[in-house]
C-alpha cells in the first residue's frame, strides 16, 4: 500500500501474491510479461519455484532484499534497463525528504541509540547492517551494533546486549511476538521506558520509494 501511494500511476495495480514463497504462477502467466524482475535474495533460496517461473518469461534477479547498499543496487538495476535518469530522480527526491525531516529528529536523538529487531520464536533477530539501519543513519540516528553482520540471533539470556538502545524498532508478526513479553525483554531500558516501537514488515527492505516512507515512520516513532 505504501508503494501505491508513492506511485500515482499505480492505481488499479493488483497484488496477486501475499508472499514470495507462494507465487500465483497461473496469474503471472496471463500478464504477458517480457521480463520478470524478482528479489535475488528469495531467488537464491529457490523460494519462487524458479523452474516454473523461468518457463513463463526470462527472469532478472535484483539485489539483496536487506542490503544497506540499496542505493547502488537500485541505480545499477535502473541503469541496466536504460533508466538511469529515473534512478537519479528518485534518489534526489529521497535525499530532499531526508534533508527536510532530519532537523526535526536530530535534537530528539542526540546522544541516543536505536536498534532494529524482529521476534523469531524464542529468539530475537538483531539487525545491525541492513536497509533499515542505512536509512536510520541518513536521518542522523546512531545505530546500536557490535559487528558487521546483517543480523545476530539473540537468545533470552543475551537480550542484555540491547541495553544501550534508547529506542528499539521491533517487528512483531503475530505468530512470533510472545518473546516480547519475556521477563528478560521487559527488563530492557527501552521496554521499561515504553520506547519499543512497532515496525512494519513490508518496509524492512526496498529502494528509494520505500526508504522515503521509512523516513517518515522512523521520525514518527522517535517523536512518540
The pLDDT value recorded for residue 5 is 60
The pLDDT value recorded for residue 177 is 56
The pTM is what? 0.82
The pLDDT value recorded for residue 2 is 56
User: pLDDT by residue (tens digit) across 32-60?
Assistant: 888 888 777 667 777 667 888 899 999 88
The pLDDT value recorded for residue 7 is 59
Residue given cell 546486549 in the structure block: 161
User: pLDDT by residue (tens digit) across 184-212?
Assistant: 999 999 999 999 999 888 888 889 999 99
CA-CA distances (angstroms) from residue 218 to 15, 117, 168, 194, 198?
26, 14, 11, 16, 10
The pLDDT value recorded for residue 166 is 98
Domains of the chain, start order: 2-62 (no CATH), 86-223 (3.40.50.1980)
- Low-confidence residues of the chain, pLDDT below 50? 18, 174
Cα–Cα distance measured from residue 145 to residue 115, given in angstroms and rounded to the nearest whole number: 8
The pLDDT value recorded for residue 39 is 74
For residues 8-38, b (16+ Cβ closer than 10 Å) or e, as one string?
Answer: eeeeeeeeeeeebeebeeeebeeeeeeebeb
The pLDDT value recorded for residue 26 is 87
The pLDDT value recorded for residue 86 is 92
- Residue (of 185, 164, 63, 48) closest to 118 by Cα position: 185
The pLDDT value recorded for residue 178 is 74
The pLDDT value recorded for residue 216 is 96
Query: Are 168 and 117 a contacting pair, CB within 8 Å?
Result: yes
Per the structure block, which three cell numbers stand in for 109?
A: 536523538
The pLDDT value recorded for residue 67 is 82
The pLDDT value recorded for residue 60 is 82
Per the structure block, which three cell numbers stand in for 46?
A: 529457490
Amino acid at each position: 500500500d505504501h508503494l501505491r501511494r508513492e506511485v500515482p500511476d499505480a492505481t488499479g495495480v493488483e497484488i496477486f501474491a501475499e508472499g514470495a514463497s507462494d507465487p500465483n504462477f497461473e496469474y503471472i502467466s496471463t500478464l504477458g510479461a517480457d521480463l520478470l524482475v524478482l528479489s535475488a535474495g528469495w531467488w537464491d533460496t529457490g523460494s519462487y519455484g524458479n523452474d516454473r517461473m523461468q518457463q513463463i518469461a526470462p527472469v532478472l534477479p535484483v539485489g539483496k532484499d536487506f542490503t544497506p547498499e540499496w542505493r547502488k543496487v537500485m541505480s545499477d538495476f535502473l541503469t541496466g534497463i536504460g533508466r538511469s535518469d529515473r534512478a537519479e530522480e528518485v534518489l534526489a527526491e529521497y535525499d530532499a525528504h531526508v534533508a527536510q525531516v532530519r532537523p526535526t529528529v536530530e535534537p530528539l536523538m542526540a546522544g541516543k541509540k536505536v536498534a532494529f529487531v524482529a521476534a523469531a520464536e524464542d529468539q530475537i533477530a538483531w539487525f545491525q547492517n541492513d536497509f533499515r539501519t542505512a536509512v536510520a543513519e541518513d536521518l542522523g540516528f546512531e545505530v546500536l551494533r557490535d559487528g558487521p553482520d546483517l543480523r545476530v540471533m539473540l537468545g533470552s539470556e543475551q537480550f542484555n546486549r540491547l541495553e544501550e538502545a534508547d529506542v528499539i524498532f521491533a517487528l512483531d508478526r503475530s505468530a512470533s511476538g510472545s518473546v516480547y513479553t519475556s521477563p528478560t525483554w521487559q527488563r530492557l531500558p527501552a521496554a521499561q521506558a515504553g520506547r519499543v516501537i512497532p515496525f512494519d514488515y513490508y518496509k524492512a527492505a526496498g529502494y528509494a520509494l520505500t526508504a522515503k516512507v521509512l523516513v517518515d515512520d522512523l521520525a514518527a516513532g522517535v517523536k512518540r
